[in-house]
A and B are shown apart, each in its own frame.
Chain A
Amino acid sequence: MNLIMQCAVLFGFLAAGEMIVWLTSVPVPSSIIGMILLAASLQSGRLRLNQVEQFADFLTRNLGFFFVPAGVGVIRCLGLIADQWVPIVMATVVSTFIIIAVTGWTHQWSRRTAKRFRRHG
């Protein structure tokens, strides 16, 4: 399917997200709303996978690249980081570990509980 068309679809969903944020001022970024709308339209069958797939896969496979300029922004706060690197590093490392452990455990535990519930209930 034509790439311009695929681009139009993706930006259409992003623009829809922007409009929803503008209308309702929900504290959720437009891109997340666009993502949910895109998945919902595909699910409802109003949008076909081949109308976005190729371009969407290109973007998601290279997601990391688009983060580089934001990362270079570190240059602006090197002073602040030099002053407080211990709390920054500790909080980042330990809390990342805590999030991974808590999310994973809770997911496994609640799936098991849900299964048991279904079996007995």
Chain B
Amino acid sequence: MDEFFANPYFLIALTFGVYLFASRLRRRFGLSLMNPILISVILLVAFLSTSGVSYESYCEGGKYIEFWLKPAVVALGVPLYRQLSTIRKQLMPLLVAELAGCVAGLVSVVAIAELFGATREVIMSLAPKAVTTPIAMEISTALGGNPSLTAAVVVCTGIFGSMAGFSMVRMSRIRSSMAGSLSIGTASHAVGTAAAMERGGERFGAFSSLGLTLNGLFTALLAPVILPLLGY
């Protein structure tokens, strides 16, 4: 039986099953704490640790799911297009806001991690945490971080942003829904965008995906410039 558990098709089916279960759970109880990604990751990690299936074996199946991340990011071009006329009207405010958010994110993550005594490897892995996985892992590798830690932190940031992002928007007294969804996409990439779309529909989703795109671009371009200025 243990050998069968490492079968990639079984692991793919299990991932689908666990995610469906987690989504049902949330629909049933409606708690934002029950993020389906979070619940799925916890259940799958528990399964791997108890069954003794290695992460490498899991990836044999998991890579076919992860494969769809890239086409899914391309697909965000559709909501982006649908809101293009709104976006064009305020191109400058959007660019200024994204630039500020990107710099604030990079500086704050490095400063806080350093303050609490993280090692250089961890700091470099945390630096690109706000942007979507493929970008973040590339930046992390380029900076000398640990890309698998980056992937984990990126997913956690996304989950955290999709759970707490809306309360944070309220707490910081951001009144415009455009500004709010833009910030959620900026801080918590595609996972936050999925939450924004679920909660506010197409318009929120478009601004959120704009946030994730612009922050991805700015972080990729600015991280190699800003981190040396911070002494790394």
Binding site for B on A (CB under 8 A): 10-11, 13-14, 17, 27-32, 34-39, 42-43, 49, 52-53, 55-57, 59-77, 80-81, 84, 86-88, 90-108, 110-111, 113-114
Would you list 9 pairs from A and B whose C-beta atoms are within 8 A, ordered by A residue? Answer: A29-B216, A31-B70, A63-B193, A63-B194, A70-B152, A70-B155, A103-B101, A104-B169, A111-B93
Are A64 and B194 in touch, CB under 8 angstroms? yes
CA–CA, A99 to B159, complex, Å? 15
Supplied contacts A35-B209, A84-B119, A104-B172, 15 more A-B pairs, CB within 8 Å: A38-B77, A56-B77, A60-B76, A63-B190, A68-B40, A70-B66, A73-B148, A73-B151, A76-B148, A86-B117, A95-B112, A97-B172, A100-B186, A101-B168, A104-B169
User: Which of B18, B71, B190, B221 contacts A11 (CB under 8 A)?
Assistant: B71
CA–CA, A109 to B105, complex, Å? 18
Is the C-beta of B4 less than 8 angstroms from some C-beta in chain A? no
With A59-B71, A68-B37 already in contact, the answer to whether A92 and B157 are too (CB < 8 A) is yes
Is the C-beta of B97 less than 8 angstroms from some C-beta in chain A? yes
Are B92 and A114 in touch, CB under 8 angstroms? yes
Are A103 and B98 in touch, CB under 8 angstroms? yes
CA–CA, A103 to B94, complex, Å? 9
Are B168 and A107 in touch, CB under 8 angstroms? no
The minimal Cβ–Cβ distance linking B188 to chain A, given in whole angstroms, is 7
- Residue in B15, B19, B194, B224 with the greatest tally of chain A CB atoms within 10 Å: B194
With A59-B75, A90-B112 already in contact, the answer to whether A103 and B191 are too (CB < 8 A) is no
Are A69 and B59 in touch, CB under 8 angstroms? yes
Is the C-beta of B73 less than 8 angstroms from some C-beta in chain A? yes
- Residue in B49, B72, B108, B138 with the greatest tally of chain A CB atoms within 10 Å: B72
Are A75 and B180 in touch, CB under 8 angstroms? no
Contacts of A68 in B (CB 8 A): 15, 18-19, 37, 40-41, 44, 62, 65
